[in-house]
Amino acid sequence: MSESIVRALKCRECGQEYAIEPTHVCEFCFGPLEVVYDYDKLQGKFTRELIESRPQTMWRYKELLPIDGEPTVGVQNGFTPLVRAKNLEKVLGVKELYIKNDSVCYPTLSFKDRVVSVALSKAVEFGFKTVACASTGNLAGSVAANAAAAGLESYVFIPHDLEQGKVLGAGIFGTKIIGIKGKYDDVNRLCSEVAGKYGWAFVNVNVRPFYAEGSKSLGYEMMEQLGWRAPKHVVVPMASGSLCTKVDKSIKEFIKLGLIEDNGTAVYGAQATGCSPISKSVKDGTDLIHPVHADTIAKSLAIGNPADGYYANRVIKESGGWAEDVSDQEVVDAMKLLAETEGIFAETAGGVTLGCAMKMIESGRLPRDESIVLCITGNGLKTQEAIIDAIAKPRIIDANLKEFDALAEADGVATTDK
Amino acid sequence: MSVNVRIPTPLRKLTGGADEVVVEAVTVNEMIDNLEAAHPGLKARLCDDAGEIRRFVNVYLNDEDVRFLNGRSTVLKDGDEVSIVPAIAGGC
């Protein structure tokens, strides 16, 4: 592999640069640190042919992910399907619609496997033996699984009232799982204090600058799978707002490296109305994010104080996108629609993304005749509580053909009997 | 009023390594001023030029974000626990 092009960590607020180490806030202004690169070193070397020659994992873009050498954790992760959503196109009355389907991301069925493989590979480089996270569920499962496979100890901190699927989906991996009496924002606050005290790699605290970069791989794949082009519009669910900014960064990097043409891609953010500080700021035309007390079934997006909200707001405005929010009922309806039209069972956040896209198509914010990608980031099997009452129950009969015949007749189903 | 203030890792260089300091203050505003008096340089980290608490700084009074209370005017009482926490991310 060619020499790493990672240059430094840089404060997004004041521009102060720092060496590559496990740290995440600027000592001068508390601004978040971001990995910056010397893209010039890749000019002419990082080509479509090189990328296509590599295995179908997120690591085929490893030059643009902030690790030294080869990944050590999550080597198989990423490269999820991009699905052309023909049935949904008809229902929504749009011409070209795709689903980037991270509900089947390896190994824990959410896009968090991308960020975690970068964070843990980096943690191993730094020499950490224990990894940890504050999580709304998906991250906990991903940290636990990837840590188990890498032989690392893990602690995961979650709100105490998470969906069972997410609690089980972390606990099975033998992680030390801590439920905090409070909302995600309380978990987050505690973790930032724990991270200062224990010598662990907290994936979304002290190794967050590296962790967050993993999200870019979703964007890279989307562009390669579209035939080396960016969509005109991409809709992203927002909790902290990080994914929104990283999808935008991935597109800008591919343009800079000459891998795609600039398609003027607009980025759109989706939130649940019960926790919509970022979409509210976009709609209100301000860049001030007012924290809220989150209350929504879309628990993976329930971050009332979004750390990247300001930057997500800026990306949305500068790219010409928009933001929207939907009620819990609209989330459930959209989850069902996606499942019934495309055979994709997304978690509640996926219902938020599709629900907001539908609203923006109706309002004209999303044009009907241009390419749109919806980012689906997690799997519905983990959030069953949200829809359990909205789904038809099985009709119970005896193992008796006559009983089934009666049922089929009621359904109006014809038999092949002459 | 005497309150305990928990200092996050990035600011401990300014507090001689202390992770908790005790200050006398009646409001959050006064607490920040008195922190500055005891540990010069702290205020500039916490507040912007206009004196507002920076976008990426969260101040919690007994586990509640002061943005949900009265912001910098929030009144403190004896024995209150204040945490200064940099904003961090999770979720999408």
- Is residue B26 within 8 A of residue B1, CB to CB? The reply is yes
Q: Which of residues 319-378 of A touch B (CB under 8 A)?
A: 349, 377
Show the domains of chain B with their CATH numbers.
2-86 (3.10.20.30)
Give the CB-side neighbour count of residue A340, counting CA atoms within 13 A. Answer: 11
Cα R_g (chain A), whole angstroms: 22
Distance (Å, whole) CA A280 – CA A264: 24
- Is residue A240 within 8 A of residue A300, CB to CB? The reply is no
pLDDT score of B21 more than 90: yes
Residue A110's pLDDT is 97
Cα R_g (chain B), whole angstroms: 12
Test A302 with B6 for CB contact under 8 angstroms.
Answer: no
Query: What are B61-65's contacts with CB under 8 Å, separation 24+?
Result: B61/B28, B63/A182, B63/A186, B63/A189, B65/A185, B65/A291, B65/A305
Q: What angle do CA A345, A348, A353 make, to 5 degrees?
A: 90
The yes/no answer on whether domain A6-75+112-211 falls in CATH 3.40.50.1100 is: yes
Contacts of B42 (CB under 8 A, 6+ apart): B11, B14, B15, B32, B35, B36
Which token pair is A194?
């724990």
| Shortest alpha-carbon distance between residue A110 and chain B (Å) | 10
Question: How many Cβ atoms sit within 10 Å of the Cβ of residue B40?
Answer: 10
Q: Is beta strand A371-376 parallel, antiparallel or unpaired with respect to A233-237?
A: parallel
Q: Report pTM.
A: 0.93
Q: Closest-CA residue in chain B for A291?
A: B67
Question: How many Cβ atoms sit within 10 Å of the Cβ of residue B33?
Answer: 17
Evaluate whether A6-75+112-211 and A82-108+215-386 have a shared fold.
yes
Test B56 with A111 for CB contact under 8 angstroms.
Answer: no
Instruction: Please name the helix (run of DSSP H) or strand (run of DSSP E) that holds residue A121, with its range, or none.
Output: helix A112-126
Residue A256: closest CA among A225, A221, A230, A218: A230
Distance (Å, whole) CA A159 – CA A55: 37
Q: Is the dihedral of CA A37, A43, A48, A52 positive or negative?
A: negative
Distance (Å, whole) CA A202 – CA A81: 29
A-chain CB neighbours of B19 within 8 Å are: 196-197
Q: Nearest 5°: phi and psi at A48?
A: -55, -40
CA A234 to chain centre: 13
pLDDT score of B91 more than 60: no
Of A23, A239, A290, the CB nearest to B91: A239
pLDDT score of B35 more than 70: yes
Q: What angle do CA A71, A75, A78 make, to 5 degrees?
A: 120
Strands (E), A240-302: 266-272
Residue B32: closest CA among B53, B8, B18: B53
State the ipTM, two decimals: 0.76
- String of DSSP letters for A34-100: EEEE-GGGGTTTS-HHHHHTS-SSGGGGGGGSS-SSS--S-TT-----EEE-HHHHHHHT-SEEEEE
Distance (Å, whole) CA A61 – CA A90: 34
Paired residues of B47 in beta bridges? B53
Paired residues of A179 in beta bridges? A158
Contacts of A48 (CB under 8 A, 6+ apart): A224, A228, A259
Residue A186's pLDDT is 86
Test A238 with B10 for CB contact under 8 angstroms.
Answer: no
A82-108+215-386 CATH: 3.40.50.1100
B-chain CB neighbours of A349 within 8 Å are: 92
Residue A169's pLDDT is 93
Partner B contacted by A307 (CB < 8 A): yes
Partner B contacted by A235 (CB < 8 A): no
| Inter-chain CB pairs, A–B, below 8 Å | 113
Residue A418's pLDDT is 57
Top residue of A30, A197, A279 to mutate, by most chain B CBs within 10 Å, is A30
Residue B90's pLDDT is 54
pLDDT score of B92 more than 50: yes
Which stretches of chain A score pLDDT less than 70? Answer: 1-2, 417-418
Of B8, B63, B68, the CB nearest to A186: B63
Domain ranges of chain A: 6-75+112-211, 82-108+215-386
Residue A373's pLDDT is 98
Partner B contacted by A234 (CB < 8 A): no
| Shortest alpha-carbon distance between residue A418 and chain B (Å) | 57
Test B10 with A30 for CB contact under 8 angstroms.
Answer: yes
Residue A1's pLDDT is 47
Q: Using one digit for the tens of pLDDT, what is the confidence trace for A41-90?
A: 998 899 999 999 999 999 999 999 999 999 999 999 999 999 999 999 99
